[in-house]
A = this chain, B = another copy of it.
Amino acid sequence: MQPPSSFTAPIRSVNSVEHFTATTDVLICGYGGAGAAAALEAARAGARVTVLERASAGGGSTAMSSCEMYLGGSGGTALQRELGLEDSTENMLAYLHEALGPFGDEEKIRCYAEGAAAHFDWVESLGVSYKRAVFTERTVVPLSDESLLYTGNEKSHPFNRVAQPVPRGHVPSKEGDEGGKIFMDAIMQRVAEAGVTVMNDTRVVALLADDHGAICGVIAKQNNQEIALRAERGVILTTGGFVMNEAMTRQYLPEIHQYAVPYGNTYDMGDGIVLGLAAGGQAINMDQAFMSFPLYPPAKMTFGILLNQQGQRYINEDAYLARLAYYSCQQPEQKFYLLVQDEDYEPSHYLERAPIIATGDSIAELAAEAPFPAGVLEQTVSYFNEHAGNGRDPLFHKTAEWLKPLSKPPFALLEYSADAMKAIIMPGTTGPLIFTLGGLHTNIDGEVLNMNGQAIPGLFAAGRATAGLPRTAKGYASGMSVGDATFFGRRAGRRAATQA
């Protein structure tokens, strides 16, 4: 017989603890964007706060990111408004509803859309600078110092039918892709000033429950020894997603696991999700992941057409990179290709090693080298060209801005198939990068909910340890994750701080 589960389950009775190393009000597990936001707000609300971090320093995946935050509504953030851009809450809601569809959490969507503009003010107040300049090119993150850009599908079908396109990607101002470091350096300094205790190299291994099931502390490992910490108001799990936990990605994302490249920090191991489940929490949206194939920049590659192995188009190519990746990976065997003409070709800045597998001075010449069944490519291109010349895309509604006939040879066919990309990968720069969008089910105050939808007393979570605002690559906009993590991290911190 196996050992009883209580010996291994990451939840224990507080009565089993003989000595507490420390007692605090709010205990935060994980010092990335969500944890830092929660810590600062809890401390500012008057609570004693301790943060435990498994790594040797704070930062988490937020520090590794561009720190784009997807913000708008309320007429516009300070940055949007100073650039003359209006963004009503209704407009942002219309976009988010289209983007998240049935995956979305209505309360979180509404709360976020109503509070996002004020959240920007809060981020600036931390000492993070945003330049009042908008980057208008189609890109992933500007390497110049503009602070506002489009980071989603706002300008493309079907989103352009339901909402007025507005750029909502807010990124700290500095040349190069260093937004995450800028933000985390600033907020960690504010956290230190607020008197928060931070313990690095400290991994939470179990939650402590009282006789009523309320969470009142944790067991952590430090220097390979277990210590117990008591939390008088609440424990907040901000340990990140589970993309680095191979057993979990294999279990919850069995198909994507096969070809995707995990994107995150070493400790995105799902620790908080496992802890929350043990306490009676519910894990939802576990099968969904952010996915990215940054086929652009250069933006002009968007004039090309994406094809599956049947030689069929399957999406409007002006969609955002996460949406391109989602639909590309739905194609048979995750095989897909970009057909582009000479004047629009330049190696992708991120996928520059994608092989050109066929070329030709005519489509027929290229088709002879291409992996499609004979005759289909000619049909597909002929149909596309016929309408692109009139600025129309009857099949997938690519916008006129990116439509022109493929009529100027030579032509090239690039392979971006998932397996091909994985084989030539340079870590962090290419391949179908993913991070997870599933986690603990929480309400807008970060309370972890059980199967009945009731809050588990004393237990909170935020960031990618939860199923938050972003739920699907199909409608993902960059900045939804850091935006969500910091926005709902703050709310969790405030709520925990004000518990009895």
A396 CB–B CB distance under 8 Å: yes
A4 touches B213 (CB 8 A): yes
* A233 vs chain B, min Cβ distance (A): 11
| Interface locus among A109-117, A188-196, A409-417, A450-458 | A450-458
* A308 vs chain B, min Cβ distance (A): 10
B373 touches A395 (CB 8 A): yes
User: Per a CB cutoff under 8 Å, which of B10, B102, B287, B379 touches A286?
Assistant: B287
**Complex interface: chain B residues within 8 A of A257 (CB):** 102
- Known A280-B278, A375-B386, A395-B373; contact A9-B254, beta-carbon cutoff 8 A: no
A376 CB–B CB distance under 8 Å: yes
A255 CB–B CB distance under 8 Å: yes
Interface positions, chain A 234-261, Cβ under 8 Å from B, are 247, 250-252, 254-255, 257-258
**Complex interface: chain B residues within 8 A of A313 (CB):** 310
User: Per a CB cutoff under 8 Å, which of B6, B255, B330 touches A330?
Assistant: B330
Copies per complex of this chain = 2
B379 touches A450 (CB 8 A): no
CA distance A138 to B254 in the complex (A): 31
**Complex interface: chain B residues within 8 A of A376 (CB):** 383, 394-395
**Complex interface: chain B residues within 8 A of A451 (CB):** 9-10, 274, 277-278
A1 CB–B CB distance under 8 Å: yes
* A251 vs chain B, min Cβ distance (A): 6
CA distance A374 to B393 in the complex (A): 11
Q: For the complex of A and B, list the 8 residue pairs with the smallest distance between their C-beta atoms, beginning with the closest.
A: A373-B394, A4-B212, A6-B213, A287-B287, A102-B254, A5-B213, A2-B455, A4-B213
26 pairs of residues in contact across A and B, judged by CB atoms under 8 Å? A1-B499, A2-B455, A5-B214, A5-B456, A6-B212, A7-B212, A8-B450, A8-B452, A9-B450, A9-B451, A102-B250, A102-B254, A102-B257, A102-B258, A103-B254, A247-B453, A251-B282, A277-B282, A278-B280, A286-B286, A287-B287, A310-B395, A310-B396, A312-B312, A375-B383, A376-B383
